[in-house]
Structure 1
Amino acid sequence: MSATADHAEERTGPAVRLGFQPEQVVQEIGYDDDVDQELRESIEEVIGSDLVDEDYDDVADAVVLWFRDDDGDLTDALVDATTYIEEGGSILLLTPKTGRTGYVEPSDISEASTTAGLSASKSVSVGKDWSGSRLVTPKAAKSKK
């Protein structure tokens, strides 16, 4: 029994540590064949449904943004991602680890996050090839349009 429990914790561990919760709507942006499938499955297991893609036309509780150095402007990607989430929602920015193709400098992440009006928590390792930064939108800062 404990082996099964350990396995379940192992699968959901990263998603739970990153703040995902049951019944959240999580939108995924930047999916490609290099993403960490185990992390995706862990998130889906915690939220109890599939991740929604870039074409989802409603507001999400959180966004998973896979971003590589050659994907364009990180600030623009983060600003765009904030339009998809609820006030106070979070963005999980996933970037390749040091030495991997597409690596993004931590200073670039920090600068882009600040410019996009997001507060960054510390970076965490979320897989063999990816690092994650949990970014949150300030609850009071978003103006109602």
Structure 2
Amino acid sequence: MSTQGATHDFGFEPNTVVQEFYWDEDVDPSLRDQIAEQIGSELVDEDYSDMVDGAIIWWRAEDGDVEDLTDLLVDALSNLENGGQIWVLTPKAGLDQHVSPAEISEAAKVAGLSTTSAKALGSEWSGMRLAARKRQ
């Protein structure tokens, strides 16, 4: 479950707050460490109630369907500052619990988010970066 030394730029700025959803024993600790290093602090959990600058969601097929992911994205948006981004991380294609990019894109669209990029994150996880529309 390691990124095998690869460093990934998640686009989070130093001194920002990033909220993490659906952490479990299967997450890649080196990815979490990279984000914490980029922001200069630990990630906050899903119970955090103040505004945040970004979010990561560890999402697996067993976590629910498109509607469940849509609901979670709406919840994540409720604490997100203007211009914040959300990463949905899912097991890579071919691995147990993989979620198709089409499902993530559908949930994002319904939640009012735009898909901006996707990338492989180590040997077991891939990520889709979502951007929130600016609030007026």
TM-score scaled by structure 1?
0.84
Alignment of 1:1-80 (within 5 A): 13-14=7-8, 17-72=9-64, 73-80=68-75
Counterpart contact for 1:95–1:130, Cα < 8 Å: yes
Q: Deviations over 1:93-134 (max 9, x none)?
A: 101101112110111111111111001012101121111111
Gaps of 5+ in 2: none
Task: Measure, in 2, the Cα distance between the counterparts of 1:53 and 1:103.
Answer: 23
Task: Measure, in 1, the Cα distance between the counterparts of 2:47 and 2:69.
Answer: 20
Number of aligned residue pairs: give it: 129
- Please report how far the alpha carbon of residue 82 of structure 1 lies from its aligned counterpart in structure 2 after TM superposition: 0.8
Q: Secondary structure at the match of 1:42?
A: helix
Q: Secondary structure at the match of 2:13?
A: coil
Residue among 127, 131, 134 paired with 2:126: 131
The CA RMSD measured in Å over matched residues stands at 1.3
Of structures 1 and 2, the one scoring higher in RCO (CA 8 A, sep 6+) is 2
Residue among 78, 92, 106 paired with 1:111: 106
Task: Measure, in 1, the Cα distance between the counterparts of 2:120 and 2:21.
Answer: 19
TM-score scaled by structure 2?
0.89
Task: Measure, in 1, the Cα distance between the counterparts of 2:79 and 2:126.
Answer: 22
Give 1:93's aligned amino acid.
Answer: V
Look up the match of 1:4. none
Q: Which stretches of structure 1, 4 residues or longer, exceed 4 Å deviation after superposition?
A: none
Q: Secondary structure at the match of 2:42?
A: coil
Q: Normalized per residue, which structure has more helix?
A: 1
Larger Rg: 1
Identity over the aligned pairs, expressed in percent? 50
